[in-house]
């Protein structure tokens, strides 16, 4: 007899999954997997958050890099990268909403977790609310007023008459979600998940956004005063016996996670090559490393792609000339361990198992090839192969160093960022002495000179965030939060910055979203 099973076991549905604690854990893992898609593919959303700012510019053009270099008409409601980012974030929100709603089911079996039934439920809801807050944080920075959905999209809750909720109300919800999450998310989370410190950090940032520096300082202090979280100030880990600096040890694969010695980590995304759940198409290295292999000297391309050099780069982003000139020479964050400024030509033994570098006329093995930022990247000077770059994302598949993809774990948030949020709150409260000392805690680690209260202003804090967090912080958000994106990008980014306008502080709502809202006219952002 034919058995027609209405609930085939190979199909996972919300009704079947969210009936027990283990099912919710699977759902949370799925949501974190979606978050990692920030770093995936040529249209990776991360570019939208960091490129086209004071410290980062395109070099070669890819996807969002076209907007970041051109602005004007190419920044428009039909842009697929912007639409994909919008849809991706709301997909994460719906996943979180589904778990929050389903957690209220009367027949959920909450056993199997580390606590009692109430504790296990609260931990699940806390994770989901932290994830929802994370996604809405992105949306408010990128588009301002956005539809605020707090329930699972199913049945009658599927709408075609959305209204854009004022950004301040959305941020109130972000803070409410984070406050709940902070109570239940642990200091030491499962690898890949937000820690309590990460949630507290986001609270400190959101209170700065709404201009409440006292509460911001409170939450920043909760992080920096927690003995579990410490800046990395000494060499450690897999390369500690090789030349280097403490600042860079945390960025080497095998050193990134807390269990690997990274006391500074607040949130580390997990990847693994050819592992189920190990991630798909992460392109951080290809996006940010320079095209050193294409450097030509007297008709010779000398440099081989090797594992030690981090694999193949595509230079879709690059530091601006201003950024390169913003460091003191003795600052470890400006050393060649942190920013690639030169290469040493290597013979076959030194490059093994890869081929020897090719020698241009007059060169010998052991000679130096210096990178060059004497002329800024501009519309008349781009696709520059000997441009310097950050080494934070070096890393490749050992057996395929030319691959676009790298599966190294990724530090999404670390303690130095929190210290600099704390300094910003202290500055806004008028305590310049305290702000200077907080900044000095970060600077001492890298042998930068001490600063005093007289040095502290908003631009200096932004400069310091750039020096410490380049290629990490969502720089666009930082500059928008402080009202400085337009001013500083125009001043320091000469490959696109001169073309931005006031309207570009927010992106256009994707036209497909407006068109799908059949029963209510959704207003577009000003200027489109």
Q: 205 to each of 151, 223, 413, 487, how far by Cα in Å?
A: 25, 12, 12, 21
Euclidean distance between CA atoms 240 and 261, whole angstroms: 12
Q: Cα–chain-centroid distance for residue 57?
A: 16
Supply the pLDDT for residue 157.
82
Supply the pLDDT for residue 13.
79
- Do the beta carbons of residue 322 and residue 54 sit within 8 Å? yes
pLDDT tens-place string over residues 93-104:
999 999 999 999
**Token pair recorded at residue 16:** 């079947």
Q: Where are the domains of the chain?
A: 12-185+484-528, 297-313+323-402
pLDDT tens-place string over residues 328-376:
999 999 999 999 999 999 999 999 999 999 999 999 999 999 999 999 9
* Closest of 144, 29, 24 to residue 508, by C-alpha: 144
* Closest of 142, 158, 492 to residue 325, by C-alpha: 492
- Do the beta carbons of residue 337 and residue 447 sit within 8 Å? no
Q: 311 to each of 197, 262, 335, 487, how far by Cα in Å?
A: 33, 24, 20, 36
Euclidean distance between CA atoms 345 and 499, whole angstroms: 40
* Residue 96 neighbours by CB under 8 Å, 6+ apart: 31, 128, 129, 131, 132, 135
Euclidean distance between CA atoms 265 and 195, whole angstroms: 9
Class at the top of the CATH hierarchy for domain 12-185+484-528: mainly alpha
**To which residue do tokens 């996670």 refer?**
257
Say what percent of the chain tops pLDDT 90. 87
Q: 512 to each of 65, 89, 131, 161, 335, how far by Cα in Å?
A: 22, 15, 25, 14, 46
**Token pair recorded at residue 242:** 């090789």
**Token pair recorded at residue 214:** 């006292």
Euclidean distance between CA atoms 303 and 295, whole angstroms: 7
pTM of the complete model beyond 0.75: yes
Euclidean distance between CA atoms 262 and 409, whole angstroms: 12
Give helix 458-469 / helix 432-445 axis angle, nearest 10°.
Answer: 20
Q: 367 to each of 261, 289, 355, how far by Cα in Å?
A: 35, 22, 17
Euclidean distance between CA atoms 468 and 203, whole angstroms: 21
Counting as low any pLDDT under 70, the low residues of the chain are 1-12, 41-43
């Amino acid at each position: 007899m034919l058995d027609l099973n209405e609930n085939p076991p190979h199909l996972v549905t919300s009704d079947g999954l969210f009936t027990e604690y283990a099912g919710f854990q699977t759902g949370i893992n799925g949501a974190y997997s979606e978050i990692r898609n920030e770093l995936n593919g040529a249209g990776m959303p991360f570019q939208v958050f960091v490129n086209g700012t004071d410290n980062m510019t395109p070099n070669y053009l890819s996807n969002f890099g076209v907007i970041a270099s051109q602005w004007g008409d190419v920044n428009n409601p039909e842009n697929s990268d912007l639409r994909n980012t919008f849809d991706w974030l709301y997909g994460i929100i719906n996943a979180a909403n589904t778990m929050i709603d389903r957690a209220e089911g009367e027949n959920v079996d909450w056993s199997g977790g580390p606590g009692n039934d109430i504790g296990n439920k609260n931990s699940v809801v806390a994770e989901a609310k932290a994830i929802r807050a994370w996604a809405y944080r992105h949306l408010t920075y990128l588009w301002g007023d956005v539809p605020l959905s707090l329930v699972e999209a199913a049945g009658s809750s599927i709408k075609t008459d959305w209204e854009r909720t004022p950004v301040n109300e959305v941020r109130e919800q972000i803070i409410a979600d984070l406050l709940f999450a902070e109570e239940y998310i642990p200091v030491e989370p499962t690898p890949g998940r937000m820690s309590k410190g990460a949630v507290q950090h986001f609270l400190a940032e959101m209170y700065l956004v709404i201009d409440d520096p006292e509460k911001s300082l409170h939450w920043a202090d909760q992080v920096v005063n927690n003995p579990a979280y410490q800046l990395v100030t000494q060499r450690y880990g897999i390369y500690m016996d090789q030349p280097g600096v403490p600042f860079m040890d945390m960025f080497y694969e095998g050193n990134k996670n807390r269990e690997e010695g990274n006391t500074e980590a607040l949130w580390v995304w997990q990847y693994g090559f050819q592992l189920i759940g190990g991630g798909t198409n992460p392109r951080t290295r290809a996006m940010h490393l320079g095209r050193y292999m294409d450097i030509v000297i007297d008709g010779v391309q000398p440099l081989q792609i090797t594992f030690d050099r981090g694999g193949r780069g595509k230079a879709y982003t690059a530091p601006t000339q201003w950024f390169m000139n913003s460091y003191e020479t003795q600052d470890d964050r400006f050393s060649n361990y942190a920013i690639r400024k030169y290469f040493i030509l290597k013979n076959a033994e030194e490059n093994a198992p890869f081929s020897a570098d090719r020698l241009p006329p007059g060169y010998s093995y052991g000679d130096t090839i210096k990178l060059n930022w004497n002329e800024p990247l501009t519309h008349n000077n781009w696709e520059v192969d000997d441009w310097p770059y950050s080494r934070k994302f070096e890393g490749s598949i050992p057996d395929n160093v030319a691959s676009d993809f790298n599966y190294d774990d990724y530090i999404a948030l670390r303690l130095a960022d929190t210290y600099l949020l704390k300094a910003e709150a202290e500055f806004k409260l008028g305590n310049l002495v305290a702000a200077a000392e907080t900044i000095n805690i970060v600077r001492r680690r890298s042998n930068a000179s001490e600063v005093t209260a007289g040095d502290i202003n908003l631009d200096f804090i932004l400069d310091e965030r750039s020096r410490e967090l380049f290629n990490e912080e969502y720089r666009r958000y930082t500059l928008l939060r402080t009202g400085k994106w337009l001013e500083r990008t125009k001043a320091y980014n000469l490959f696109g910055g001169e073309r931005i306008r006031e309207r570009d502080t927010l992106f256009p709502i994707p036209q497909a979203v407006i068109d799908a809202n059949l029963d209510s006219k959704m207003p577009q952002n000003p200027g489109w």
